[in-house]
Amino acid sequence: MRRIRVVAVLGAACLLSYGCGQNGKDSAATELASATENSAITDAPISERRLLHTEERAPCLDYTPLRKPLFGDVHVHTSYSFDAAANTTGATPEDAHRFAKGQPIPFWPLDAAGKPAGEFRIDRPLDFLAVTEHGEFLGERALCRTAGSASYDTPFCVAYRADERQGTVMLAQAISSEAPARFEALCGTHGSLCLAAARSPWQRIVEAAEAAYDRSEQCAFTSFIAYEHTGTPGTSNYHRNVIFRNAKVPDLPVSYFEAPLDSQLWAALDAVCREEDGCAYLTIPHNTNLANGRMAPYRGIEQTAQARQAYAATRQRREPIVEIFQHKGASECINGLSAVLGAPDELCNVEAVREIGRRESYPVLDPASGGLDLDAEFIETVECGDGVGEQGMVGAGCVDETDFMRSALLVGLQEEQDIGLNPVKLGIVAATDTHAATPGAVLEEDYRGHISGEATPSERMQPAMLTAVLTAGPQGNPGGLAGVWAVENSRDAIFEAMLRREVFGTSGPRIKPRFFAGWDYPEDLCDSPDLVQQGYANGTHMGGDLSPAPTGNAKPVFIAFAARDPAESARPLRELQIIKGWIDADGRMHNEVRTVAAADAGAETLCAVVRDDAFQPNEPAYYYLRALQPPTPRWSSFDCQRLAEAERPEICSDGSLPNTVVEMAWTSPIWFRPQERALGAEPGGTDG
């Protein structure tokens, strides 16, 4: 093991392979950490900038050829969503954009008149935002809540308005089918009334994003036009957020009613969002942890090699990233999958709402009352095997390899060996999924809740009563953030970063990870002032493919780097881990977690140059980086302390909740693809 010089962090050590460095005053780690805090690493004349612009705007002053880290939220609901807590506060998409920019918005608690009496503001502004209202019920909500509408006085709308929980359940039942249909009594023949009524709220959503976007040379804030495609077949999660590149968008969202399958969604969007008209989009699946196997590729298509190849090619183009973490739990990994060989990873249990072998009493929807039976019998979580399960949205049913990112990526590697294309080639982001119009509200010590019934510490510590679909109450969490490495803070630059998968997610803190892979990075690169330049020039970035090995015995080399969240209250970094997944010569799936740098006392930055000596050129593989903070108090610990001892529920002391949480960041993977089996490189973004 190579000994390293540590200047500011005592006890720090590199634990695996090759070379590493931390916090040296003369090292690239310090220089890179400083660079990620500043707007411009290197300026570039406008004529030399490499970025495809699809709309008119002023050139950004902060254009950064080596790319800068930007933090945002790509999963946010306001009162325009049928199930949003923001319906009680009246918060709108405009409020969500104001909140993201650092301005206060009205918030809980409610006064005697039912109006918000408090306010809330984020600790630091975000760089970008996508408000993603549910696309399915924009018209239904408008008809039932707008006095004088064609359906306002129908029995359906009267019952819908009588109680928030009841209204949510009434609408949600329509999207719990494999063959969803709108309510004819409310929407008229072929849903025409609801589709017509949806135009106005959709236009207001578009206008709010347009008004919030900073098109000046300051490029201070980017807002995307977006929505959520929300299917819950069998009460399993089958949700995707749809992000548009610019202001060229369809007249209406393509919803689950029009396109119940992922392949149908992409085809329908292609028809109304045509590239020749300047429209472009991408989709982001989320909460695969609640999918019961329904996020597996190829649903509803012919199972021929040709059809699977076409699906894989389309998905790589239209769905380059996945949401790995949000308030409904983590979707990184699960221990105990029989098909995956490797040691258990204790961090798979951080904010996990599904665990194999765990016996729990799951709340079950009572069709007669529309309420929840919270005393359902105990059910053990098992693997799905062949087929799919049900009830994932209430934390029940079976789990599948494709429900979790780490094992789903292995399924993709296996498929590529079979058909030559990878249908599960996904980069990584995180989000909040706030239903209270509070994007980026991720602080454990200042968690105010994301859904209805979470306005106070005592409410947050009780089982969720709106509907367990939201995995709220003590099992929920504040959610995370999406990170991108982009040349500037603009729609085009961020969208391009997503297309090329040069993105990352965090569980909340604004940790800045970088991850490169090549074949000949020098051992002392962590001490080099041009680490990033060499990372790009001599290899590939997170989200990319390793180039073919230059010789038969070459081993890939990785640059693993992370800088801590610069906020005063944020914790230093504890550890860097590289997670490897691969398919062996016998077709078996493997995972391994490797610690590559650690600092027992914490570090401002961690950096390691690591060679994979176990690499086999005939084995497809992926690698991603995970950066960890030391354990810190969980939000529930803060809430329990806020309650008087006599008011604390049993859950505060019975050991059923963790007292701490390990905050972390995940980079997108880097893939190695044996050339004899791969059909070719996949489409992605430009070098912008």
Amino acid 675: pLDDT? 80
Residue 350 carries which side chain, given as an amino acid letter?
V
Cβ neighbour number for residue 549 with a 10 Å cutoff: 16
Residue-wise pLDDT tens digits, 522-537: 999 999 999 999 999 9
Confidence of residue 453 (pLDDT cuts 50, 70, 90): confident
> How are beta strands 372-373 and 364-365 bridged, if at all?
antiparallel
Angle, alpha carbons 669-670-676 (nearest 5°): 130
Q: Which residues pair with 399 in a beta bridge?
A: 383
Determine contact, residues 234/390, Cβ cutoff 8 Å. Answer: yes
Alpha carbons within 13 angstroms on the beta-carbon side of residue 633 total: 13
Q: Does 627 reside within a domain?
A: yes
Residue 518 carries which side chain, given as an amino acid letter?
G
Confidence of residue 6 (pLDDT cuts 50, 70, 90): very low
What mean pLDDT comes out for the span 458-464?
A: 82
Q: Does 660 reside within a domain?
A: yes
Q: Does 567 reside within a domain?
A: yes
Amino acid 554: pLDDT? 95
Residue-wise pLDDT tens digits, 322-352: 999 999 999 999 999 999 999 999 999 999 9
Domain with 612, as residue range(s), is: 12-71+486-672
Q: Does 197 reside within a domain?
A: no
What is the pTM assigned to this prediction?
0.93
Total domains in the fold of the chain: 1
Confidence of residue 621 (pLDDT cuts 50, 70, 90): very high
Amino acid 24: pLDDT? 39
Residue-wise pLDDT tens digits, 174-213: 999 999 999 999 999 999 999 999 999 999 999 999 999 9
Q: Does 590 reside within a domain?
A: yes
Amino acid 16: pLDDT? 41
3-class state of residue 76 by DSSP: strand
| CA–centroid distance for 486 within its chain | 17
Do you find a cis peptide bond into 109, omega within 30 degrees of 0? yes
Burial of 126 (0-12, 13-18, 19+ CB in 10 A): buried
Q: Does 343 reside within a domain?
A: no
Residue-wise pLDDT tens digits, 370-382: 555 555 556 789 9
Residues ≥6 apart with Cβ < 8 Å to 441: 99, 120, 122, 432, 434, 447, 448, 450, 478, 479
Cβ neighbour number for residue 276 with a 10 Å cutoff: 5
Residue-wise pLDDT tens digits, 93-109: 999 999 999 999 999 99
Residue-wise pLDDT tens digits, 11-65: 233 434 455 555 433 444 554 555 444 433 345 666 677 898 999 999 999 999 9
Please, what sign has the CA dihedral across residues 472, 475, 477, 483?
negative
Residues ≥6 apart with Cβ < 8 Å to 603: 8, 9, 12, 22, 23, 564, 572, 573, 574
287 vs 56, 206, 262, 469, CA distance in Å?
Answer: 35, 25, 15, 11
Q: Does 541 reside within a domain?
A: yes
Strands (DSSP E) contained in 426-521 are: 427-429, 481-486, 503-506, 512-518
Locus of tokens 């009572």: 366
Q: Which residues pair with 428 in a beta bridge?
A: 322
Of the chain, the percentage scoring pLDDT greater than 70 comes to: 87
Q: What 8-state DSSP symbol labels residue 464?
A: P
How far apart are the two ends of the chain, measured CA to CA in Å? 38
Residue-wise pLDDT tens digits, 393-432: 888 899 999 999 999 999 999 999 999 999 999 999 999 9
DSSP calls for 36-68: HHSS-SS---GGG------S--PPPTT--TT-E
Residues ≥6 apart with Cβ < 8 Å to 271: none
Q: Does 109 reside within a domain?
A: no
Rg of the chain over Cα atoms, rounded to whole angstroms, equals 24
Residue 124 carries which side chain, given as an amino acid letter?
R
User: Considering the chain, what is the average pLDDT of its residues?
Assistant: 90
Cβ neighbour number for residue 483 with a 10 Å cutoff: 28
Determine contact, residues 93/78, Cβ cutoff 8 Å. Answer: yes
Calpha distance 49→60 (Å, rounded): 11
